Structure 1
Amino acid sequence: MSPKEVKIVPSEEEVIKTLCELIQDIARTAIQRDDVFKVGLSGGSLTKFLTVGLPKIETDWAKWRLFFCDERVVPVESADSTYGVYKSSLIGTVPLTEEQFIKIDPHLKTAEEAAKDYIQKMAVHFPPDSLPRFHLLLLGMGPDGHTCSLFPDHRLLEETSVWVAPITNSPKPPASRITLTFPVVNNAECCIFALTGAGKADIVKRVLKDEEPLPAARVKPTDGKLYWILDNSAAAHITDM
């Protein structure tokens, strides 16, 4: 297991710049080696960071395949659809097509059906009979320390039998979601958390300094790299680490 690297920069603008330069480098390496770049997206503030930063990078966009670390089982038109946010903000801003996004079927009525369908869609892009190995997962963290849709004290924290699990009782609405499970998350070549603002300072301290066993603290790639990119405000309580 590789140690984590914590990068603290002055501002949100610098977080975006640092994040997207790192994405550019990881994508270049992946495309040179594998002729494809497989990246998992999260919602929340990451959508803003990527919308602002990705148009400034140099990459072979046609080689990108974009998955979702978690997704809400809602129509694409819903404000709660993570894919819907990226569809409206990224497509047309950078030369990505809808077909490059591996997305849930919004017409399926249950999270269970959506999770099974998403596993089948993912399987097309990874070698058979092995855990998916993403080049990069871009992760967020909530004020309770959750990441993806893996929440504190939830039974899905111990799920190891499937790549993608349904959740129907999310503590944060909407209740119906799908999420990557920890075996897949920790099999990634690289995971990145990018966080800004004083509102994140307490939970950042609890995870990085106090080492509480919260879901975000369980992101530990077994054969990969882990980065935390923080602005000064988010890192306010860990500067003496």
Structure 2
Amino acid sequence: MSAPVEVRRHDDADLLVGDVASALLDRLEAAQARGEVPQIGLTGGTIADALHRELARRAADSSVDWSRVVFWWGDERFVEAASPDRNARQAREALLDHVGVDPAHVHEVPASDQVATAEEAAEAYSRALREHGAGFFEVLMLGIGPDGHCASLFPGHPAVHATDAIAVAVHDSPKPPPDRVTLTFEAMERCRAVWFIASGDGKADAVARALADEGSVEETPARGVSGEETVWWLDEDAASSL
């Protein structure tokens, strides 16, 4: 059974990013001190990019051995590998290229110039998780869209109802690009920690819907993900409708 949801509010986005960075480094250090090789799920977007850059900035002062961290993504845009729309490219440029990761521990969703369809990409990503995954994420980081989506699980889309699958293709996304690959709810519920990170008043209504006592996952998919620990990291603008 998941623990109660925790909400952590910060005066602004910079303080939010700093707090998340500190908590993630602490968590990775603790896992490695236990002799584990922690597996984490990254997300994309503006606040994630700021977080990745902050983690890279602090790398030299941290005892985290980044070569002993395994990286996945909650979702990915099905575009060419070099596209700036790729969450993986964003993470590489901001973090992974700067901290001495083991390339064998970075598991990207195949790109559109590597496989023919988003379905093939989802199948390959699912195989990789079955083969190389630990069975759970130490931390899965997620954003939330103004419509309440998380990863690429959008309100009213078929992927919200996917079962018996790790990752699935998404088409006709309401947010470009239209073709994507996303982890399913079933894959994302195997987490020691789920961390939602949101900044800006454009997210306030969606955050309030996600945290409301009543509401549906169909309308607000972010309601459907929780871990043994679930934390919503918010700046005051994103928290303004709570």
TM-score, scaled relative to structure 1: 0.90
Contact 1:91 1:98 in 2 (8 A): no
Distance in 2 of aligned mates of 1:123 and 1:137: 17
Q: CA RMSD in A?
A: 1.7
Relative to structure 1, the CA distance from residue 11 to residue 179 in structure 2 (aligned partners, 3 Å threshold; closer, same or farther) is same
Relative to structure 1, the CA distance from residue 34 to residue 115 in structure 2 (aligned partners, 3 Å threshold; closer, same or farther) is farther
CA shift for structure 1 position 211: 4.0
Relative to structure 1, the CA distance from residue 64 to residue 102 in structure 2 (aligned partners, 3 Å threshold; closer, same or farther) is same
Q: Are 2:181 and 1:174 aligned?
A: no
- 3-state secondary structure, aligned to 1:71: strand
**1:85 counterpart (90, 95, 108):** 90
Contact 1:110 1:176 in 2 (8 A): no
- 3-state secondary structure, aligned to 2:40: strand
**2:225 counterpart (219, 223, 232):** 219
Distance in 2 of aligned mates of 1:218 and 1:93: 34
**1:48 counterpart (47, 50, 55):** 50
Distance in 2 of aligned mates of 1:124 and 1:33: 23
Contact 2:18 2:54 in 1 (8 A): no
What residue is the counterpart of 2:79 in the other structure? 74
Q: Percent identity, aligned pairs only?
A: 31
What residue is the counterpart of 2:106 in the other structure? 101
- 3-state secondary structure, aligned to 1:40: strand
CA shift for structure 1 position 124: 2.2
TM-score, scaled relative to structure 2: 0.90
1:152 maps to amino acid? P
What residue is the counterpart of 1:157 in the other structure? 160
Query: Mind listing any 5+ residue stretches in structure 1 that lack a counterpart?
Result: none
34-43 or 200-209: bigger deviation: 200-209
**2:133 counterpart (112, 126, 132):** 126
151-160 or 88-97: bigger deviation: 88-97
Relative to structure 1, the CA distance from residue 15 to residue 54 in structure 2 (aligned partners, 3 Å threshold; closer, same or farther) is farther
2:71 maps to amino acid? L
Distance in 1 of aligned mates of 2:188 and 2:146: 20
Contact 2:75 2:180 in 1 (8 A): yes
Contact 2:53 2:94 in 1 (8 A): yes
CA shift for structure 1 position 26: 1.8
Distance in 2 of aligned mates of 1:35 and 1:205: 36
Q: Are 2:153 and 1:141 aligned?
A: no
Relative to structure 1, the CA distance from residue 97 to residue 47 in structure 2 (aligned partners, 3 Å threshold; closer, same or farther) is farther
Distance in 1 of aligned mates of 2:208 and 2:75: 24
Distance in 2 of aligned mates of 1:191 and 1:174: 25
Q: Are 2:124 and 1:117 aligned?
A: yes
CA shift for structure 1 position 35: 2.4
1:113 maps to amino acid? E
CA shift for structure 1 position 47: 2.0
142-151 or 191-200: bigger deviation: 191-200
1:49 maps to amino acid? L
2:175 maps to amino acid? K
CA shift for structure 1 position 104: 2.0
CA shift for structure 1 position 39: 0.5
Relative to structure 1, the CA distance from residue 27 to residue 167 in structure 2 (aligned partners, 3 Å threshold; closer, same or farther) is same
State the aligned residue count: 232
- 3-state secondary structure, aligned to 2:34: helix
Distance in 2 of aligned mates of 1:149 and 1:88: 22
Contact 1:40 1:68 in 2 (8 A): yes
- 3-state secondary structure, aligned to 1:6: strand
